[in-house]
Every structure is written in structure tokens, then in C-alpha cells.
Structure 1
Amino acid sequence: MLVAAAVCPCPPLLVPEVATGAAPELDAARAACLDAVGLLAAARPDRLYVVGPVPEGVHGVFPAGSAGSFAGFGVDLSVRLGEAPKGTAPSDARPLPAPLAVGAWLLDRADWADAPIEGLGVDEAATPGVCAGLGHGLAASAERVALLVMGDGSACRTVKAPGYLDERAAGFDAEAARALGTADVAAVLAMDTELAYELKVAGRAPWQVLAGAAEDAGLDGRLLFEDAPYGVGYFVAAWS
């Protein structure tokens, strides 16, 4: 059963080594993410899943010990998703996608050592039904389950945003922030998939996995951070 969740943005710039000048404008987001991860630890889960968006063909499970690198962003920095189970070698079969690598970095910064970890890459185009089904499966996998859910809002908030300015983006992000900040499961599952695609919302599918996992959990939500410093919506929320 799901007992806690943290929602965090997943830009590699969240990692100071990747950001030129450490991007101090993201300091508040980093602090909120670490606070949210701390709340996950306080829930004392039996298992933690790190869930993030990936392109088609990359989706699936990334076992504990899976490694990721930020070399593609010009930084000689590697991370690992927890520790491989005793008696097994760390898994290097598939590198962690960037969103899961950012999640692994957050857990490392928080000195996570509270429960076994597994990563789940979710196809960005997965339907709400598929996402909810994945969430149900995660929630049923242990008595006390926690999720670290990585994903960004729209990428169309300003003319300098990756997707340029779209007047619909601010409204979408405002409703996403409200739904995530209040643990409104029905609203998250009802997010418009076509509009989310047009606004380049990377978090829609992972958020709907969370909503599926939380359908019978009765969790409350808190919004810890909301901003769009690069024209991309970033939210940090805690469900418990």
C-alpha cells in the first residue's frame, strides 16, 4: 500500500555540477526536493520506487544498483540507484535515464538508506489507464510503499522556454500544481493527455502512475515549491 510520495522536477540542472554557476535560482527547488525525500524516509517504507518519464522503448524496471551518468551534459559525474542486493553485482545492463539519474542524485544527497529501491521508467506516451495500472501494481508490491515521482510541468511558459510561449501553459500548470499539492487523485488521472503532449509536459505519465498507486490510500498533499525559472513548470509536492 502506498504510504507516502514525493513529487519532484527532473531537469539535470537540478544537479549543481551540471548547472553553470550551480544555478542558484534552483536552490529553493533543491531544498524543497530534499525536504520531500526526508518526508518519504519518515514514512518508514518497506520499498521505494523512483518513477520517471522516458521515451518509448526505454520504459521498464531499473533494478537497485543501476548506474547513471551526466556525461551527456558535459559533467564527469555518475550516480547509482541505491545498492545492489548483497551477493549480486551492481547492474550496468541499462544506464539510468536522466530523470531517474536525477532521482538517484537526490536520494544520494539525502543519504537514503531506509528501504530497498527500484526504478521505473514510464513511457511518456502511456495512456492514463496504463499509468494507473502500473501504480496499482507498485502499491500492491509491499505493505508500505513510497514513491519518488520525477517529472516537469509544461515547457511553454515563456518565449524562451524549450517549447516557446503557449498561452495555455500557465493554466495547465496552475491546475497541475493544485492537483499535486492537494493529492487530488481524480484530477491527476483526468489530465488532458493531448494538451499535456502539446505543452511538452514531461510529468504527466509519472504523475498518473502516482495517482493510480494512491487511489485507495487516502493520502493528503502539500505543495512545497512551484516556479518556472526557465519557462518550464517545476513542482515539489509531498503526499502522506
Structure 2
Amino acid sequence: MLVSAAVCPCPPLLVPALAAGAAPELDAARDACADALGVLAASRPDRLVVVGPAAGPQDLEPYPQGAHGSFRGYGVALDVTLDGTPAGPGRGEPPTLPTSLAVAAWLLGNVAWSASPIQGLGVREPLDTERCIKSGRDIAARDERVALLVMGDASACRTLKAPGYLDDRAAAFDAEVARALADADTTALAALDEKLATELQAAGRPGWQLLAGAAEGTNLHGALLYEAAPYGVGYLVATWS
């Protein structure tokens, strides 16, 4: 059963070593992510499942605890491991984690996660709503107490300089997602328009709908900890507990 959930954005710039001089711009987002992970730890889960967008060959790609990720593709010699240990130098083995889960691994290492075992799951975009919701139900049924960390950005079309340029629909889409997360509204998340989300480059949509499936039948309460679009991309941090 799902006992808690957190939603965090997954831009590599969350990792200060990659942001360099611009790192302070996302300090508030980092602090909110750390607070969200604290909520997950406080729920005393049997397992933490970390979900994030991926471009792998499978619709749903599992990653075991200890899977390795790297930010070397961004010009920084920084590797991470999906086990809650702090980030360190290169480990020698090829990285396997998609960027979204590598960012999650950095966040978990930053708070020295030790509350439970960790399992990763990469979700290929676009995964249809029905499959996302079913996958969420399956995850929630695996253990008596499951916590879910959902990595994913909102729209990438909030300004003229955004990765997806300006789309007038983006702000309203992000606002509805923020409201649904704040209210723990599984019905609203399940009803998100797949086509619109894809057009707005909202990579978090499959993960949010997976969360909707996992939270069915629970009585979780939501809290929105952070909402901003500093680079024309919507970043949201929320907790359900």
C-alpha cells in the first residue's frame, strides 16, 4: 500500500556541481526536495520506489538498488549510485541510470537516505494513461508500506527562451497539475491530457499518472512545497502523506 509520495523535478541543474555559478537559483527547489524526502522517510516505508522519465528500450525499465548513474555527459566528473550514499568520483563501471533517476540518486545521497531499500523504474514517454495507472497499482501492491518518489518536470513552454518555446497553454496546464498535487487529487491527475502533455514537453505526466494509480483507495493528503518556472520549465515539488 502506498503510505507516502513525493514529486520532484529532475533538471540536472539541481546538482550544484552542474549548475556552477547559477547553483543558488535553484537553492529553494533543492531545499523543497530535501523536505519532501524527509516526509517519505518519516512514513517508515518498507520500500522506496523512484520513478522517472527514461528513453530506454522498454516502456518500464527496472533499476536495482546500487545502480550507477553519471553526469559526465554534462562535463562534470560526478557519478552517483541509487542507494542513498553521497555522490562520489567515477566508479569504473558503465552508468545505467537515466538522467532523471541519476538526479534522484543525487537527491537521496544528499540527504543520506537510509529509511528503506530503494528500487528505480524508468518510464518511457509516451506511456498511455491506462498503463501508467495500472503500473501504479501494481507498485502499491508489492509491499505493505510503499513510498514513491516521482521525478519529472512540468511543461517546457513557459517563456520564449524555454526549451519548447512559448505556448499559451503551458501556464494553465502547470497550474492544474500543481493544484492536483496540492490536493492529492488522483482523479485530476488521471484525467491529464496525454497529447497536450506531450506537446508541452511535460515529461512528468506518466509519473504523475502512475502516482494516481498507486494512491487509489488511500487517504493521503497533499502539500505543494515549491512551484516555479525559472528557465521556462515548470518545476513542482509536492508531498502526499
Show the counterpart of 2:21. Answer: 21
Show the counterpart of 2:11. Answer: 11
Structure 1 stretches of 5 or more lacking a match?
A: 85-89
- Residue 24 of structure 1 deviates from its aligned partner by 1.1
Counting only pairs closer than 5 Å after superposition, residues 1-240 of structure 1 correspond to structure 2 as 1-55=1-55, 57=57, 59-82=60-83, 95-240=96-241
Q: Deviations over 1:81-125 (max 9, x none)?
A: 0179xxxxx9x6761000000001100011101101000001110
- Residue 55 of structure 1 deviates from its aligned partner by 2.0
Does the Cα contact within 8 Å between 1:64 and 1:83 map onto a contact in 2?
no
- Residue 209 of structure 1 deviates from its aligned partner by 0.7
Measure, in 2, the Cα distance between the counterparts of 1:41 and 1:212: 21
DSSP 3-state at the match of 2:39 = helix
Instruction: Output the amino acid matched with 2:39.
Output: L
Percent of aligned pairs with the same residue?
62
Instruction: Tell me: CA distance 1:180–1:6, structure 2 relative to 1, closer, same or farther (3 Å).
Output: same
Runs of at least 4 residues of structure 1 off by over 2 A?
none
Q: Deviations over 1:3-53 (max 9, x none)?
A: 000100000000000113142110000000000000100000000000001
Instruction: Output the amino acid matched with 2:83.
Output: G
Measure, in 1, the Cα distance between the counterparts of 2:72 and 2:211: 30
How many residues were matched structurally? 234
Instruction: Tell me: CA distance 1:150–1:83, structure 2 relative to 1, closer, same or farther (3 Å).
Output: closer
Give the CA RMSD over aligned residues: 1.5
Instruction: Output the amino acid matched with 1:155.
Output: A
TM-score by length of 1: 0.94
Instruction: Output the amino acid matched with 1:51.
Output: V
Does the Cα contact within 8 Å between 2:55 and 2:98 map onto a contact in 1?
no
Measure, in 2, the Cα distance between the counterparts of 1:178 and 1:93: 40
Measure, in 1, the Cα distance between the counterparts of 2:199 and 2:78: 32
- Residue 213 of structure 1 deviates from its aligned partner by 0.3
Structure 2 stretches of 5 or more lacking a match?
A: 86-90
DSSP 3-state at the match of 1:122 = strand
- Residue 180 of structure 1 deviates from its aligned partner by 1.0
- Residue 56 of structure 1 deviates from its aligned partner by 5.0
- Residue 217 of structure 1 deviates from its aligned partner by 1.4
Measure, in 1, the Cα distance between the counterparts of 2:179 and 2:139: 24
Measure, in 2, the Cα distance between the counterparts of 1:25 and 1:117: 29
Measure, in 1, the Cα distance between the counterparts of 2:117 and 2:23: 31
Q: Name whichever of 221-230 and 93-102 sits farther off.
A: 93-102
Does the Cα contact within 8 Å between 1:62 and 1:94 map onto a contact in 2?
no
